[in-house]
Homo-oligomer: A and B are copies of this chain.
Amino acid sequence: MSNIREVARRSGVSVATVSRALKDPQMVSPRTRERVLKAVEEAGYRPNLLARNFSSGKSYAVMVLVPNIANPFFSRVIRGIEKAAQDQGYSVLLGDTKGDSSNEQFYAGMALTNQADGVIQLGSRYPFAEKDANLAASVPLVNACERIVEDDRYPVVELDNHGAAQEVARHLMKMGHRRIGVITGPSQSPIVRDRLSGFSEALKKRGLELDPEMVVHGEFTMTSGQKGAETLLSTHHRPTAIFCMNDEMAIGAVHQVKRMGLRVPEDVSVTGFDNIEFSQFTDPPLTTINQPAEELGRYAMETLRLIIDGKPLKSSRTILPFELVERESTGPCSYK
């Protein structure tokens, strides 16, 4: 592997000039530039970015903490992050945390040893170990999709979860549903709270109360959606519709509804959230909320970049718009 000195030697200039010719071409004369580039070619030279980064004190990498990389919604967010990162000359380090705080601390900790210039947390936890909080205070951190619990020090890029859940409620009520079950995510998650409050608020506006028996907690997995549906449908007074807080759980719920000999949507309507691609191919296709996943990622990366560069943020909270996608998993309430 040839280095900058080798190129300097070959082109008969100093290393400084080579450095300039490559990073700031108009700083050197056309003739030298040409000679340098020729030497670069001949030597098969590639700058050692490890050295460059070390020298500049930056890694030009961002650490992305993702609760579950197998969730297609997060995949799309990551796509958005990556695209934006590439545009900005940054690389993406992947940290699949499985929602585990020790994993989060491990990966986020890499920003403390200069392996990443910033962190994008897609989960809802403050990702650093408490004992590292002092050091971590200076690490650029952006929170996307979720919102870090009890902490508004960090910019967040998220959906109008409250509004989206309201929209779902309105959609179901418009179809005549009055007893609606909800399969949430983990109860401590801020988005779960937002969606739950939006949902019950919309119900209240129409004089309906959210029966606690109609709220079960899932874990954003298909299995938990299936179990949740089983619980809801085994109640004495079963719901005619189920609002699932993500598409995976909705897929599990639809599965269970059918297993219990009921039809979707004739007997039970089911809604999802996220609009992952699979939601179009279930039977029936899911009514769901579309999240602009790639944009969430892009905004998160762009925001992080501003922080890294010490530039001012227009706002510490970016809310992206949702969209209700009506498909065939919801229909008129046939009960009574």
Q: Which size bracket describes the interface of A in this complex? A: 35 or more
Within 8 A of B (CB), among A209-254: 222, 226, 251-252, 254
Stretch with Cβ within 8 A of B (4 or more), from A9-17, A110-118, A153-161 = A110-118
Q: Which of B44, B254, B258 contacts A135 (CB 8 A)?
A: B44
Q: Is B76 a contact of A70 with CB atoms below 8 Å?
A: yes
* A48 and B280 alpha carbons, distance in the complex (Å): 48
Contacts of A138 in B (CB 8 A): 1
Residue-wise, chain A 50-76 has the 8 Å CB interface mask toward B (1 for contact) of: 110110010101001000011010011
Write out the residue numbers on chain B whose beta carbons fall within 8 Å of the beta carbon of A222.
277-278, 280-281
Contacts of A112 in B (CB 8 A): 46
A91's closest neighbor in chain B, by CB? B93
> Do residues A44 and B134 form an inter-chain contact, with CB atoms below 8 A?
yes
Contact call B252/A281, Cβ cutoff below 8 A:
yes
Max chain B Cβ within 10 angstroms of own Cβ: one of A70, A110, A114: A70
Q: Which residue of B lies closest to A259 (CB)?
A: B283
A281: B residues at CB distance < 8 A: 222, 226, 251-252, 255
- With a cutoff of 8 Å between Cβ atoms, the chain B residues found around residue A76 in the complex are 70
Chain B residues within 8 Å of A188, by CB = none
User: Apart from A50-B57, A69-B78, what 16 extra A-B contacts exist at CB < 8 Å?
Assistant: A46-B135, A50-B50, A50-B54, A50-B115, A51-B54, A61-B93, A69-B79, A78-B96, A82-B96, A91-B115, A92-B94, A251-B281, A252-B281, A254-B283, A278-B278, A283-B283
**Interface CB pairs A-B, < 8 A, 22:** A44-B134, A46-B135, A49-B114, A50-B50, A50-B57, A50-B59, A50-B114, A61-B93, A69-B75, A70-B75, A78-B94, A86-B106, A91-B93, A91-B110, A92-B93, A92-B94, A93-B93, A93-B94, A222-B278, A255-B281, A255-B283, A278-B278
